[in-house]
Structure formats: structure tokens, C-alpha cells
Amino acid sequence: MQGLAYKRIVGDAFGGVTASVIALPLALAFGVASGVGAQAGIYGAIILGLIAALVGGTKVQISGPTGPMTIVAASTLVLFHGDVSLLMAAVLLTGLFQIFLGLLKVGKFVKYVPYPVISGFMSGIGIIIILLQINPLLGIEGVKSPLEAVASLGDIWTMFQTDALFASTIALLIVFFTPKKISRIIPTPLLALVTVTAISQLADFQLATIGTIPNGLPEISLPNFTLSQISIIVSAAMSLAVLGAIDSLLTSLVADSLTKTEHNSDRELIGQGLGNALTAFVGGIPGAGATMRTVVNVKSGGTTRLSGILHALILLGVLLGLGEYASIVPMAVLAAILIKVGLDIVDYRFIKIIKKAPKHDLAIMFTVLFLTVFVDLIMAVGVGVVLASVLLTVRMTSQVHSSVNDLEVSVRDIEGCERLNHDKSFHVRVVDIDGPFFFGSTSRLVGQVGAMLETKIVIFNCLKVPFIDLSAFFALSEIILKLKENGIIPFIIVSDEIQKKLIELGISSTLSEKHIYHSFDKAVEHSRDHVCKNRS
């Protein structure tokens, strides 16, 4: 047991150290990209990383600023006209909303977000990161939106700085082509940051740098806003909260697949929410569970919360002692690191099967990708989920079959009814419904009402219906009432579960419970009784 405990501690130590080494350059880069400053990335990584590790529901998850959250935070800051205090108010509400989502136990529903939506969103985020870093990569002043980045592409070849191009080229070569034997020991983002910063200092390159980073602990301050600003703050906070929840819980699923364990979704949301809320008081940018850092933690031996805690404490040590050195890091280096991050976020798994993927999935993915890059990130997810739901409804509706069939009923064994055996008209019609009976399939059944008339009995055979929703219930009730107005007696054959549901919804007000059956043969037997004796 002692040997096992020691092995876990050593594994957590390696995992925490490795994750912090990767987190440092990314936190600096995300802080700068957010528009708040490099220190905001460090503050967010420390506070969120520590609190989520202590309280969250995924033991091995490493949390901190992420690409998607940084892009939304940057867009929010632009919306607030650069008012950092308003952004911190939104970050505080982001955390509170996430805690609320966790208490409502909605974490488990994230797994139901369709994959094409996630793919389009993540690829869109990757493209945004790349577009926004092209200018800093070449020593040109950055732009605030992907549209501006695209519009400025034609001018970059006349505006770039030679020193920045040289430094960024070295950084790109390091992050993309460092041999795995070396990158396993020293993560490429850190290697690029240290190497190119040293070269820039020795060669006296004229480059834009991060600038002064406060040394020591951050000051605690309350977000400042007015009542008239609440609506835009709430809107931004809801966007960040939903995005952070999705980002974190998807990373939790990745962690589960690596560790063969199962995370607690609701606890994870509470941990992320508490971390983001506290981040707002120190001026940090919001974050979420970070997939790459979590994977590195697990691969390096991390198995418990200790690795995440250690990762945050190491970053705190850097903040307290190495801030002055981080201030000389060239912006071009951070841009190169972020471009690698952007390319890594793009969903190549979907791209590989793009020619074989169903057309409706492609439509969803490209719609979400386009909206993510050029319109709005949260709108993109919302439109994607709605579009996926509509297309799924159409597909499900096409698989639901309903038909109206005439049924010959023999009445020879009933005294006084022999004459009906020579009647050429059909006294019983059976409506067979095969598949989900829901709002998407009700119109087809309503359109068949005319074929149900001119008879005495209509039997709705729903034995092949797995479920029935409220729209279908009301449609069925209306059809039953119309049949009864025409002197036709309705029967229903359903499973015991659906019968209970129908009774709960109040089917008894339109249909006698004795006309609800679980057996087709019993329904036919009773219908024969009605045909002959005309009794209800």
C-alpha cells in the first residue's frame, strides 16, 4: 500500500509539473489574446486551476484559460468598449450561472449535443485563433475580429516587420517540428518561448513584447457596474457559462476515456463555477477544463487531485518570482504558440470522413463553423442544436408509418348477426401506427381521418409505438372526438406504459377506458360485439 501511495504521489508530481510547464506560455498567450493582459491569463490559470482541482468532479482535470473561452472573453470586452470591470462582472456571473447549472443537475445533458455541432464549433474556434494571430505573428498591430483579420490579409505583405517574421518563423519551426524525443521532455510551447525570447534578447530584435507583468499577489477588487448595464452583462455571462460548461464536460469525457473512470458532471460544473467566480475578484480571465493539459497530466502519471493543485501552485510561484522575465517575451512568439493551438483545435477526425459523412451532418457542421467564425459563437451552437433537432425530427418522421386497413369481422357465432356476413361493407377499420408517435408524425395521421370514416369501428393499433408526446396526444384526442361525432366507436391498442401515460394526460374524457386494450385479438373480439349488437 505504501509503495502504491508513493507511486501515485510521484505520478501526480510529474503530472502537475508537466501541466504547469505547458500552462505557463498558454496562460500568457491567452491573457494577451483576451485583451486584458498577460497577467489576467496567469491569474485565471492559478485561481480556476486550484479551485476546480479541489472542488470539481474530474480528479485529473487541469483547468485554466482555453481557446474558446478566451475568444468569447475578448469579444465580450470589445462589446463592453474595453471596460475590464464590466468583463469581470460578467465573469463573476459566469461562475454563478455554472454553479446554478450544477445544482440543477444539467451536466449530464451536455453529452447529447450532436457531434457535428461540436465539430463545427471547435474548428471555428481554431480558425478564429489563427486569423487573429496572423498580424501579431508578423509584428503588425492585432485586430479584434475575424472579419477584420480577413479584410487585412491583403496588406500584411507590405506591413510586416522583418525581426518579427524571423522570430515567429523560429517559434513555428519549434512548435511544429521538434522531435518527439525532445518534446516529451520539454513541451514545445515552453521550448519556443524560452529559445526565441533568448535569441531576441541576444540579437537585439526590435519586437513588441508582453510588457510589465505585476510581481506578487493580485489585488482583490469588486466588479463595478450600473443597473442599466445588467442586461448586457447577463447575456455575456450566460454565453460564457454555457460555453465553459460544454468545454469542461467534454474534457471530462476525454479524461474518463483515458483513466477508465467516471466523472461527476454536476460537481464539475460547481467546481468550474466557483473557480470562475473567484477569478473575477482578481481580474483573471474565465476558463474551463483544458483538454491538452489534462491529457498531458494523465500521460505524465497524474491520477488524483494533487496534480491539479500542484500545477496551480507552481504557476503561483512563477507569478511571485519570474514576472519580470515573462515581460520580455515577444508577442510574435505567443502568436506562433497560439497558431499551433488553433490548428490543434480543428477537428481533423471529421475532415477525414467529410466525403463519406451524411449530407445533413455536413450541413450542420459547416453552418456552425461559418456562424462561429463570422457571426457569434453562442448563436452558432444554438443554431446548430436547433438545426440538428429539426433534421432529426424530419428523419424520424420519415421512418414513422401509419396505414388505414379494412378488417373483415366474422359474426357467424353471434345469434341474429348472420346477415352481416353477407354485407359487403367493412364495419371495422384498423389504423396501424409503426414508430414514434410525436409532433413530427401527427400531421400524417390527421391527414388520414377521411379514410377512417364510413365505418362503425376504428381500432388504433399502437403496439409498435415506443412513446407518445403531448402533441400526438392532443391530435389523437381530436381525431377520436371527430370519429365519435360521426357515430364511429374508437378503440386503442397500446402497451401498459403508454396506457398509463394516456390516462394521466386525461384520455378518459374523450375515450372510455374499457376501449383501451393491450391485445389486438381482444380488441377485435370486442369490436365484433359492437358491430353486431351496436352497444358501447
pLDDT value of residue 274: 95
Domain count, the chain: 2
Which value, to the nearest 10 degrees, does the dihedral of the CA atoms of residues 72, 75, 76, 79 take? Answer: -160
Q: Are residues 421 and 332 in the same domain?
A: no
Q: Are residues 320 and 448 in the same domain?
A: no
pLDDT tens digit sequence for 93-103 = 999 999 999 99
Q: Are residues 335 and 472 in the same domain?
A: no
Q: Are residues 305 and 420 in the same domain?
A: no
What does 461-502 look like in DSSP terms, one character per residue? Answer: EEEE---B-HHHHHHHHHHHHHHHHTT-EEEEE--HHHHHHH
Q: Are residues 156 and 292 in the same domain?
A: yes
Determine the average pLDDT of the residues in 155-174. 82
Q: Are residues 160 and 58 in the same domain?
A: yes
Q: What are phi and psi of 406, to 5 degrees?
A: -80, 140
User: Residue 30: which of 79, 63, 55 has the closest Cα?
Assistant: 63
Q: Are residues 339 and 405 in the same domain?
A: no
Q: Are 128 and 373 in contact (CB under 8 A)?
A: yes
Min mean pLDDT across 191-205, 252-266, 417-431, 467-481 is at 417-431
pLDDT value of residue 28: 80
Confirm whether 490 is domain-assigned: yes
The per-residue pLDDT of the chain, averaged, comes to 79
Confirm whether 131 is domain-assigned: yes
pLDDT over 80 at 362, yes or no: yes
Determine the average pLDDT of the residues in 333-356. 80
The pLDDT-based confidence of 202 (bands split at 50, 70, 90) is confident
pLDDT value of residue 418: 52
Q: Are residues 405 and 310 in the same domain?
A: no
pLDDT value of residue 424: 44
What the block records as the C-alpha cell of 183 is 518534446
Ramachandran area for residue 453 (φ above 0: left; ψ -120 to 50: alpha; else beta): beta
Rounded to an integer, what distance in angstroms lies between the CA atom of residue 311 and that of residue 173? 27
pLDDT tens digit sequence for 64-98 = 998 778 888 888 888 888 888 899 999 999 999 99
Which value, to the nearest 10 degrees, does the dihedral of the CA atoms of residues 128, 133, 134, 139 take? Answer: 160
pLDDT over 70 at 398, yes or no: no
Determine the average pLDDT of the residues in 209-219. 70
pLDDT value of residue 536: 40
Domain boundary among 327, 344, 361: 344
How far CA 320 is from CA of 45, 115, 217, 326, 330, in Å, comes to 14, 42, 7, 11, 21
Q: Are 213 and 327 in contact (CB under 8 A)?
A: yes
pLDDT value of residue 214: 65
Confirm whether 156 is domain-assigned: yes
87 or 518, higher pLDDT: 87
User: Residue 54: which of 246, 379, 285, 274 has the closest Cα?
Assistant: 274
Q: Are residues 326 and 413 in the same domain?
A: no
pLDDT value of residue 343: 82
Confirm whether 361 is domain-assigned: no
Min mean pLDDT across 70-84, 147-161, 277-291, 295-309 is at 147-161
Determine the average pLDDT of the residues in 288-304. 79
pLDDT over 60 at 39, yes or no: yes
Count CB atoms within 10 A of the CB of residue 364: 25
Rounded to an integer, what distance in angstroms lies between the CA atom of residue 391 and that of residue 448? 24
Domain boundary among 344, 364, 390: 344
Q: Are residues 332 and 430 in the same domain?
A: no
User: Residue 482: which of 513, 440, 447 has the closest Cα?
Assistant: 447
Q: Are residues 337 and 266 in the same domain?
A: yes
How far CA 511 is from CA of 251, 476, 516, 521, in Å, comes to 51, 10, 8, 19
pLDDT value of residue 213: 64
Rounded to an integer, what distance in angstroms lies between the CA atom of residue 432 and that of residue 483? 16
Domain boundary among 306, 323, 344: 344
Min mean pLDDT across 9-13, 348-352, 514-518 is at 9-13
The residue type found at 142 is G
pLDDT value of residue 444: 65
CATH of the domain at 428: 3.30.750.24
9 or 7, higher pLDDT: 9
Determine the average pLDDT of the residues in 176-189. 79
pLDDT value of residue 422: 46
Range of the domain at 411: 401-533
The residue type found at 4 is L
pLDDT over 50 at 535, yes or no: no
Q: Are residues 303 and 445 in the same domain?
A: no
Residues forming beta bridges with residue 457, ordered by sequence position: 428, 489
pLDDT over 70 at 212, yes or no: no
Rounded to an integer, what distance in angstroms lies between the CA atom of residue 350 and that of residue 11? 34
3-state helix, strand, coil in the chain (%, to 5): 65, 5, 25
The pLDDT-based confidence of 378 (bands split at 50, 70, 90) is low
Confirm whether 214 is domain-assigned: yes
186 or 323, higher pLDDT: 186
- What are the start-end ranges of the E strands in 383-528? 401-407, 428-434, 457-464, 489-493, 516-517
Rounded to an integer, what distance in angstroms lies between the CA atom of residue 380 and that of residue 71? 14
89 or 449, higher pLDDT: 89
pLDDT over 90 at 51, yes or no: yes
pLDDT over 50 at 420, yes or no: no
Cell 433534421: give the residue. 391
386 or 412, higher pLDDT: 386
Q: What are phi and psi of 264, to 5 degrees?
A: -105, 105
Confirm whether 364 is domain-assigned: no
Q: What are phi and psi of 380, to 5 degrees?
A: -60, -45
pLDDT tens digit sequence for 486-502 = 788 888 888 888 888 88
Confirm whether 386 is domain-assigned: no
Min mean pLDDT across 160-164, 444-448, 505-509 is at 444-448
Determine the average pLDDT of the residues in 384-401. 73
Confirm whether 383 is domain-assigned: no
What does 240-269 look like in DSSP terms, one character per residue? Answer: HHHHHHHHHHHHHHHHHHHHT----HHHHH
